Amino acid sequence: MKRQYKKLRKYLPVKQKGNLSRVSHFVLNKPFVKRDNIDPKKKFPNNEKGGLIISADFEMAWAWRYTKTNADYLQKGRIERENIPKILRVLDEYNIPITFATVGHLFLENCERGAHDWMRKIPHFDDHWKFTKGDWYDHDPYSNYKDAPEWYAPDLIHMILDSKVDHEIGTHTFSHIDLSYKNCPPDVADDEIKACIMVANNYDIKLESIVFPGGTWGNIETLEKHKIIIYRKRNEFELAYPYRDDIGLLVTTSSGSLEYDLNYGWPKEYLINRLKKYVDKAIRSNTIAHLWFHPSLEPFILENIIPPFLEYASSKREIGELWIGPMNSIAHYINRNKII
Ligand SMILES: [Zn+2]
Ligand SMILES: [Zn+2]
The model's pLDDT over 237-269, given as tens digits with 9 standing for 90+, comes to: 999 999 999 999 999 999 999 998 888 888 999
Q: Output the pTM of the full model.
A: 0.96
Tell me the three-class secondary structure of 259-325, residue by residue: CCCHHHCCCHHHHHHHHHHHHHHHHHHCCEEEEEECCCCCHHHHHHHHHHHHHHHHHHHHCCCEEEC
Separation of CA 222 and ligand 1 centre (Å): 22
Separation of CA 150 and ligand 1 centre (Å): 12
Would you say residue 19 lies in a domain? no
pLDDT value of position 197:
98
* C-alpha distances in Å from residue 326, one per residue of 159, 179, 338: 17, 22, 19
Instruction: Look at residues 96, 159, 166 and name the one whose alpha carbon lies nearest to residue 309.
Output: 96
Rounded Cα gap, residues 33 and 50, in angstroms: 12
pLDDT value of position 132:
95
Would you say residue 14 lies in a domain? no
pLDDT value of position 18:
85
Instruction: Look at residues 229, 242, 276 and name the one whose alpha carbon lies nearest to residue 256.
Output: 276
Separation of CA 112 and ligand 1 centre (Å): 7
Separation of CA 293 and ligand 2 centre (Å): 10
The model's pLDDT over 45-72, given as tens digits with 9 standing for 90+, comes to: 999 999 999 999 999 999 999 989 888 9
Rounded Cα gap, residues 287 and 48, in angstroms: 10
Would you say residue 128 lies in a domain? yes
User: Do 34 and 235 meet the contact criterion of CB atoms below 8 Å apart?
Assistant: yes
Would you say residue 59 lies in a domain? yes
pLDDT value of position 2:
65
pLDDT value of position 21:
84
Would you say residue 6 lies in a domain? no
Would you say residue 291 lies in a domain? yes
Count CA atoms within 13 Å of residue 97 on its CB side: 18
Separation of CA 299 and ligand 2 centre (Å): 19
- CA angle at 288 for the pair 286 and 291, rounded to the nearest 5°: 155
Q: Domain range spanning residue 309?
A: 48-336
Would you say residue 318 lies in a domain? yes
Would you say residue 27 lies in a domain? no
Separation of CA 63 and ligand 2 centre (Å): 5
Separation of CA 34 and ligand 2 centre (Å): 25
CATH number, domain of 313, equals: 3.20.20.370
Range list of H helices, the chain: 2-11, 14-27, 61-64, 73-94, 154-162, 186-201, 220-225, 268-285, 299-300, 306-318, 327-336
Rounded Cα gap, residues 148 and 86, in angstroms: 21
Rounded Cα gap, residues 208 and 168, in angstroms: 9
Q: How many domains does the chain have?
A: 1
Residues with CB under 5 A from ligand 1 (ion): 111, 140
Rounded Cα gap, residues 82 and 105, in angstroms: 19
Separation of CA 49 and ligand 2 centre (Å): 31
pLDDT value of position 71:
87
pLDDT value of position 26:
87
Which positions of the chain have pLDDT values less than 50?
none
Cis omega (within 30 of 0) for bond into 40: no
Residues with CB under 5 A from ligand 2 (ion): 57, 59, 63, 213
User: Do 238 and 31 meet the contact criterion of CB atoms below 8 Å apart?
Assistant: yes
The model's pLDDT over 262-308, given as tens digits with 9 standing for 90+, comes to: 888 889 999 999 999 999 999 999 999 999 999 999 999 999 999 99
Separation of CA 213 and ligand 2 centre (Å): 4
**Which of the ligands is closest to the CA of residue 66?**
2
Q: Kindly state the percentage of the chain with pLDDT values over 90.
A: 87
